[in-house]
Amino acid sequence: MLKGRSLIEPMDLSLEELDELLNLAGKIIENPAAYADVCKGKVLATLFYEPSTRTRLSFEAAMLRLGGSVMGFSSADSSSAAKGESVADTIRTIACYADIAAMRHPKEGAPMVAAMSTDMPVINGGDGGHQHPTQTLTDLLTIRTLKGRLDNFTIGLCGDLKFGRTVHSLIKALSRYENIKFVLISPEELRIPDYIREEILIKNKIEFKEVERLENVMDELDVLYMTRVQKERFFNEADYIRLKDSYILDAEKMENAKSDMIVLHPLPRVNEISTEIDSDPRAAYFKQAKYGMFVRMALIMELLGVEI
Amino acid sequence: MLNIDSVNKGLVIDHIQAGKAMQIYKYLNLDKMDCSVAIIKNAKSKKMGKKDIIKIEDKINLDLDVLGFIDPNITVNVIDNGEIIRKINLELPSAIENIVKCKNPRCITSIEQEIVNKFKLTDKEKKIYRCVYCDTAYEQN
Specify whether B67 is located in the same domain as B23.
yes
Q: Residues B65-124: pLDDT tens digits?
A: 889 998 899 999 999 998 999 999 999 999 999 989 999 999 999 999 899 999 999 888
Specify whether B68 is located in the same domain as B113.
no
Do the Cβ atoms of B132 and A109 come within 8 Å?
yes
Range of the domain at B84: 10-89
Specify whether B99 is located in the same domain as B39.
no
Among B89, B104, B121, the domain boundary falls at: B89
Specify whether B105 is located in the same domain as B44.
no
CA dist., res. A130 & res. A55, Å (int): 16
Tell me the nearest-neighbour CA distance from A279 into chain B, angstroms: 39
Specify whether B46 is located in the same domain as B114.
no
Instruction: Note whether B118 contacts A: Cβ–Cβ < 8 A.
Output: no
Q: Where are the alpha helices (DSSP H) in A117-269?
A: 133-147, 165-174, 194-195, 237-243, 251-254
Residue B138 lies in a domain: no
Specify whether B65 is located in the same domain as B119.
no
List CB contacts (< 8 A) between A88 and chain B: 112, 115
Q: Are B100 and B113 in contact (CB under 8 A)?
A: no
CA dist., res. A59 & res. A294, Å (int): 10
Residue B5 lies in a domain: no
List CB contacts (< 8 A) between A11 and chain B: none
List CB contacts (< 8 A) between A113 and chain B: 108, 112, 115, 133
Q: Is A55 a catalytic site residue?
A: yes
Instruction: Note whether B111 contacts A: Cβ–Cβ < 8 A.
Output: yes
Q: Are A211 and A187 in contact (CB under 8 A)?
A: no
What is the predicted pLDDT for the residue at B3? 62
Specify whether B81 is located in the same domain as B107.
no
Instruction: Note whether A81 contacts B: Cβ–Cβ < 8 A.
Output: no
CA dist., res. B68 & res. A258, Å (int): 54
Domain total of chain B: 2
Q: Judge whether residue A93 has pLDDT over 70.
A: yes
Mean pLDDT of A72-85: 82
CA dist., res. A72 & res. A79, Å (int): 9
Residue B82 lies in a domain: yes
Closest CA to B106 of A237, A106, A156: A106
Specify whether B53 is located in the same domain as B28.
yes
What is the predicted pLDDT for the residue at B141? 59
Q: Are B116 and B97 in contact (CB under 8 A)?
A: yes
Q: Is A83 a catalytic site residue?
A: yes
CA dist., res. A100 & res. A134, Å (int): 15
Tell me the nearest-neighbour CA distance from B66 into chain A, angstroms: 24
Q: Judge whether residue A233 has pLDDT over 90.
A: no
Do the Cβ atoms of B115 and A105 come within 8 Å?
no
List CB contacts (< 8 A) between A163 and chain B: none
Do the Cβ atoms of A87 and B133 come within 8 Å?
no
Show contacts of A232-238: CB within 8 Å, 24+ apart: A233/A160, A233/A162, A233/A163, A233/A189, A233/A190, A234/A187, A234/A189, A234/A190, A235/A189
* H or E element that contains A299: helix A285-304
What is the predicted pLDDT for the residue at A301? 98
Residue B43 lies in a domain: yes
Q: Judge whether residue B1 has pLDDT over 70.
A: no
Mean pLDDT of A67-81: 87
Domains and CATH numbers, chain A: 10-131+292-304 (3.40.50.1370), 134-277 (3.40.50.1370)
Q: Which of B111, B122, B135 faces A107 most closely, judged by CB atoms?
A: B111
Q: Residues A7-46: pLDDT tens digits?
A: 999 889 999 999 999 999 999 999 999 999 999 999 999 9
Residue B49 lies in a domain: yes
Specify whether B45 is located in the same domain as B107.
no
Residue B137 lies in a domain: no
Residue B84 lies in a domain: yes
* H or E element that contains B66: helix B64-70
- For an interface test with A, give the residue of B101, B133, B136, B139 to mutate (most A CBs within 10 A): B133
Specify whether B81 is located in the same domain as B103.
no
Q: Give CA angle at A93 (B118, A74), nearest 5°.
A: 90
Instruction: Note whether B131 contacts A: Cβ–Cβ < 8 A.
Output: yes
Instruction: Note whether A193 contacts B: Cβ–Cβ < 8 A.
Output: no
Specify whether B85 is located in the same domain as B107.
no
Q: Judge whether residue A204 has pLDDT over 70.
A: yes
DSSP for residue A171: H
Q: What is the CATH number of the domain that holds B62?
A: 3.30.70.140
Specify whether B61 is located in the same domain as B16.
yes
Residue B141 lies in a domain: no
Q: Give CA angle at A200 (A18, A155), nearest 5°.
A: 70
Q: Residues A146-193: pLDDT tens digits?
A: 999 999 999 999 999 988 888 998 999 999 999 999 999 998 888 998
Cα–Cα distances in Å, from A296 out to A221, A238, A273, A304, B117? 28, 42, 26, 12, 31
List CB contacts (< 8 A) between A195 and chain B: 135, 137
